[in-house]
Amino acid sequence: MHELSIVMNILDTVAENAEKHNAKVVHLIELDIGKLAGIEFDAFNFATENAPKTGIFKNVKFSVNKIEPIAQCLDCKKKFETKEYTTPCPACNSTKTKIIKGNELKIKSFKID
């Protein structure tokens, strides 16, 4: 499952950083996930609940912030909310747009002891 391997990658990344801070336990991992990041949120939640969690992650919880996608028109520079990659600009109807927010998947913070 795609989402499970993402969760395992996140745990690896947090483990590396937690070790640098001599963490004994990780309580919470807070994530920013864009709605265009290609993540199925239900599957992702299932993966966070069912990923094997040992050692510092024994009681870890996940908090996911869903980020609403924002696109910007490359012709008129207008920024607008979108639900997909290919929405034309609402101001000038240009199809030359890019997603500037909402396709990310990043670890925002984590709480350790």
Residues of this chain that bind Zn ion (CB under 5 A): 73, 75-76, 78, 89, 91-92, 94
Choose between 8 and 76: whose C-beta lies nearer to Zn ion: 76
Closest CA to 36 of 108, 98, 90: 98
- Quote the least distance from Cβ 75 to Zn ion, whole Å: 5
Please give the Cα distance from 100 to 111 (Å, whole number): 28
Q: Hunting for tokens 């924002």 — which residue is that?
A: 70
Q: How many CB atoms lie within 10 A of CB 78?
A: 14
Choose between 59 and 94: whose C-beta lies nearer to Zn ion: 94
Choose between 47 and 89: whose C-beta lies nearer to Zn ion: 89
- Quote the least distance from Cβ 91 to Zn ion, whole Å: 4
Beta strands in the chain (DSSP E): 26-34, 61-67, 70-73, 79-81, 97-101, 105-112
- Quote the least distance from Cβ 78 to Zn ion, whole Å: 5
- Quote the least distance from Cβ 34 to Zn ion, whole Å: 21
